Amino acid sequence: MEEVRIQKQDRSVSFRVAVEAGEFIVFDMSLSSPTRNRTTYSGKNFSEAWEAAEKILGESTIPEELKKYAVS
């Protein structure tokens, strides 16, 4: 599993890629987020996963480490 942590102001996201399963997991690590439901996306579509990350972070540039998944 690969993980990229992204922080923007007081918001923080763990963007995880289960490579063998082809699954993307977006986990809200922000302290202001309710603990009961911090996984905001889990599925096989990168664009939907990135959209979930941007709902937490605001508009953001895809990190270099994740760009290979954005085009596949």
For 10-31, write each residue's pLDDT tens digit: 899 999 999 999 999 999 998 7
Per DSSP, helices labelled H in the chain are 46-57, 64-70
> For residues 60 and 7, what is the distance between their CA atoms, to the nearest angstrom?
10
* CA dihedral of residues 72, 2, 45, 63 (deg, nearest 10): -70
Going by their DSSP bridges, the two strands 11-18 and 39-43 should be labelled as unpaired
Q: What confidence tens digit (pLDDT) does each residue in 37-68 have?
A: 688 899 999 999 999 999 999 999 999 999 99
The tokens describing 13, both together, are: 């996201």
Q: List the chain domain ranges.
A: 2-70
Model confidence, pTM:
0.87
